[in-house]
Amino acid sequence: MNGYAGNILSINLSTRSITTIPTKKYEQWVGGHGMGSALFFDMVKDKTIDGFHPENVITLMSSPLCGTLVPSGAARTEVQGIGVQSLPIGWFTRSNFGGRFSSMLKYAGWDGIAIQGQADSRVWIDIRNDDVKIRECDDLNLWGTDTWECQKAIWKDVSGEGAYGDWIKINEKGDMTTQRPAVLAIGPAGENLSRMACLIHDAGNGAGQGGFGAVFGKKGLKAISVIGTGSIQVKDPKGLMTSRLWLKKKYSFSLKNLKINDFTFGFQSPPVPMTLYSGGKPRIGQRPQACVGCTAGCRGRYEDGIGNEAICFNSLFYLFGKTLLIQRQAADLLNRYGLNAAEMFVGELYLKKLRDLGFIGKEKAIDCPLDFNQYGELSFAEQLVKAISYRNDGKGNPHPFGDILAEGFVRAAEKWGRLQGEDSDLKTGLLKFPHWGLPMHKLERSQLDWGYGTILSDRDINEHCFDLLRAFPTYFKRSGQRLPPAEDIAQVITDKMEPFQGDKKMLDFSTENMYSEHIIKLVTWHRHYTRFWKQSAQLCDFRWPDFLNLYGPNKTGATGIAEQRFFNDVTGKGFTFLDGINLGKKIWNLDNAIWVLQGRHRDMVRFADYIYTNPGKTSSGYPQYMPGIKNGKWDYVVTSGRHFDQDRFEDFKTRFYRFQGWDEKTGCPTRKTLESLALEHVADELEKNEKIQIL
């Protein structure tokens, strides 16, 4: 099994059993998300349980590419299980983080970990190659530590005091490494079961979505540490090295021939090493820091050690922090206490609006202990983070504010009575949580792939595949730079979108086309591509897909050529690009079946009310532009300022379900479709639970 370690680690914390599942049993799913969904399906008999139920399974999966030389595709870990963050219920969901955890897991001999049960004491898992132990937190005083303190304590325990920097023995057999263990930990937010709690690895790799930090906390699991000294077999070593250098030469940034746009906020391709905070790039000594095997680090480490490895929402969280230093310190707070940066970012702005409107504060309608006089100072951010993490006033005193807010901003708004009647904050749009009780990311009424993809799945998809189609036209229009013809761009990209290649109108984001069959195909392709190539093979979202490339021939990227080339170099499976898309389709169907078994019906698949009434506006006030057809001609058209029409969206859903081969009335995958994907056992389960009609 080239690319695989060979075994999956299965740990039941209730019984404290440690067993092994041969990876071969799940090899048809390749790895990552596909393997995690299949494991979950088999291990969790009752899919209707709550995320906090002991029988909930959390899977942490690598892929055959993890720990190899595959560029920007060797470092992700896919996290799955029933989450506790979303509404109306915690969906079976996914998160993902980078760094070096999955590679280290494979070097230790494991393709993934499945964790079930609930410990009767607070524990951590210590993996040193094939030596796996469930250890007590008390031994190292881990419970109560923040995520960084926890990791350092475990480093010290595994590496031995003073030994780091040299070759160290990791076990009694004498297996040697120079590396520190890769540790995934929860902070106080997870310990205290905040639904916004995340998992943190190293300084800033976070699995933010789903509230898996709280699930760990409920299971009594503080951390998982892994260190490995083994090897991963590769089918074609020469081929892999050749492919890596091919991508470097043809499709990667070159310092000798630097081609960068001034605009580095979007996901340009190829990416260049970058770091970013809302206040700009810190002007102090720093390096770009990359995950294992990556070609372009996307976060920094700094000479003052503040803000290390913070990225995306994490680095933008405290938007109104008065100084860049405060913003960086605030980013560290999220990582240390283990809180989901996306929800904290959008939620913190909601609190500010409530305060500006006079609804929140001391002795206001919402009794809030936060000192808004300190807004912009670090002390405000710290009090907010601590209030949520410890469910108190943020200064160590009992207070319902933190306890309520720890449940998430939508649940808190409900508790505060702000979701009642026509003035509901989800009707006015004051509370920008447009889907599944989760925070807004991209303007869903503008970036249709993002909006539809999110509401038709389970979470903010956070997949930037087509984000460049918004980022560059929008910025270039503002700055007066010349754009390439929109039709040419649509042609280059859609040519790569097997099996729908060549349908340019998939990228017509005009209002006239926003409910069309072409957009259905766009959303479908996106679901299938990401389910396999990004979330199962685990190519990084920052680098892949590579549609347009400043260095590529005719500025065409490597997608459609590169993915399967690297995959086959490692595995020898002989996959085509379309094989991956088709497996993504199968995984997408399995996920949807699981959601139906959890209780999903098409009637639940709807945006928050304000999405159907309020025009989508950008925070900057400037319009967004995307490719589209205007008066019969391709151009870059304004896509912000519009809203979804509820009836037309419902019709879109009907046609979307039909296109998937699902029941239009319920949104449930049909037996016929599932059997065509060799998912008969899934159809049987749906039938047993009366979700599909018995023929």
Partner 1 sequence: MKPKVREKKELSRRKFLKCTGTIVFAMGSSGYLLSGCGVKEEELGIAVSDGYLVVDVEKCQGCISCMLACSLVHEGTQSISLSRIQILQDSFGKFPDDLTIEQCRQCEAPACVEACPEDALTANAKFGNVRMVDKEKCTGCGSCFVACPFTPARLSVMEDSAFNNELKSLKCDLCANTPHHWDEKGGGPDGLQACVEVCPVGAIAFTGKLPAQEGNSGYKVNLRDKNWAKLGYRNS
CA angle 417, 92, 410 (to 5 degrees): 15
Which long-range contacts (C-beta less than 8 Å, at least 24 apart) are formed by 565-569? 565/243, 566/65, 566/70, 566/71, 566/73, 566/240, 566/243, 567/64, 567/65, 567/70, 567/537, 568/235, 568/236, 569/70, 569/234, 569/235, 569/236, 569/239, 569/240, 569/243
* Shortest separation between residue 290's beta carbon and partner 1, angstroms: 4
The first and second tokens of residue 687, run together, are: 């039938």
Q: 146, 139, 226: which is closest to 191 by C-alpha?
A: 146
Q: 511, 513, 495: which is closest to 503 by C-alpha?
A: 495
Identity of the residue, 73 or 451, whose beta carbon is nearer to partner 1 in the bound complex = 73
* Shortest separation between residue 205's beta carbon and partner 1, angstroms: 9
* Shortest separation between residue 216's beta carbon and partner 1, angstroms: 20
CA 243 – CA 235 distance, rounded (Å): 13
Asked whether 369 and 386 are in contact (CB, 8 A), the reply is no
Identity of the residue, 138 or 166, whose beta carbon is nearer to partner 1 in the bound complex = 166
**Would strands 299-302 and 286-289 be described as parallel, antiparallel, or unpaired?**
antiparallel
SS (H, E, C) 74-90: CCCEEEEEECCCCCCCC
* Shortest separation between residue 255's beta carbon and partner 1, angstroms: 5
CA angle 363, 369, 373 (to 5 degrees): 95
* Shortest separation between residue 169's beta carbon and partner 1, angstroms: 9
Identity of the residue, 177 or 639, whose beta carbon is nearer to partner 1 in the bound complex = 177
Identity of the residue, 301 or 328, whose beta carbon is nearer to partner 1 in the bound complex = 301
Identity of the residue, 303 or 680, whose beta carbon is nearer to partner 1 in the bound complex = 303
Angle, to 10 degrees, between the axis of helix 341-356 and the axis of helix 378-390?
110
Asked whether 154 and 140 are in contact (CB, 8 A), the reply is yes
Identity of the residue, 152 or 643, whose beta carbon is nearer to partner 1 in the bound complex = 152
SS (H, E, C) 36-78: HHHHHHHHCCCCCCCCCCCCCCEEEECCCCCCCCCCCCCCCEE
Identity of the residue, 309 or 449, whose beta carbon is nearer to partner 1 in the bound complex = 309
Identity of the residue, 107 or 636, whose beta carbon is nearer to partner 1 in the bound complex = 107
* Shortest separation between residue 7's beta carbon and partner 1, angstroms: 16
* Shortest separation between residue 679's beta carbon and partner 1, angstroms: 33
CA 233 – CA 257 distance, rounded (Å): 35
Identity of the residue, 210 or 297, whose beta carbon is nearer to partner 1 in the bound complex = 297
* Shortest separation between residue 537's beta carbon and partner 1, angstroms: 16
SS (H, E, C) 109-175: CCCEEEEECCCCCCEEEEEECCEEEEEEHHHHCCCCCCHHHHHHHHHHHHHCCCCECECEECCCCCC
CA 604 – CA 504 distance, rounded (Å): 31
CA 563 – CA 583 distance, rounded (Å): 14
Asked whether 180 and 167 are in contact (CB, 8 A), the reply is no
Identity of the residue, 307 or 321, whose beta carbon is nearer to partner 1 in the bound complex = 307
* Shortest separation between residue 551's beta carbon and partner 1, angstroms: 13
Identity of the residue, 197 or 240, whose beta carbon is nearer to partner 1 in the bound complex = 240
Q: Could you tell me the CA-to-CA distances from 631 to 478, 488, 511, 540, 690 in Å, in that order?
A: 22, 17, 12, 38, 49
The first and second tokens of residue 523, run together, are: 């959303």
CA 330 – CA 377 distance, rounded (Å): 10
Identity of the residue, 5 or 611, whose beta carbon is nearer to partner 1 in the bound complex = 5
Cβ-Cβ contacts under 8 Å for 339 (sequence gap 6 or more): 187, 189, 194, 196, 197, 198, 213, 385, 388, 389
Asked whether 678 and 690 are in contact (CB, 8 A), the reply is no
CA 577 – CA 410 distance, rounded (Å): 40
CA 631 – CA 511 distance, rounded (Å): 12
CA 122 – CA 610 distance, rounded (Å): 43
Identity of the residue, 514 or 540, whose beta carbon is nearer to partner 1 in the bound complex = 540
* Shortest separation between residue 149's beta carbon and partner 1, angstroms: 10
**Would strands 221-227 and 182-185 be described as parallel, antiparallel, or unpaired?**
antiparallel
* Shortest separation between residue 279's beta carbon and partner 1, angstroms: 14
Identity of the residue, 179 or 491, whose beta carbon is nearer to partner 1 in the bound complex = 179
* Shortest separation between residue 113's beta carbon and partner 1, angstroms: 20
Identity of the residue, 101 or 515, whose beta carbon is nearer to partner 1 in the bound complex = 101
* Shortest separation between residue 223's beta carbon and partner 1, angstroms: 15
* Shortest separation between residue 305's beta carbon and partner 1, angstroms: 4
* Shortest separation between residue 287's beta carbon and partner 1, angstroms: 5
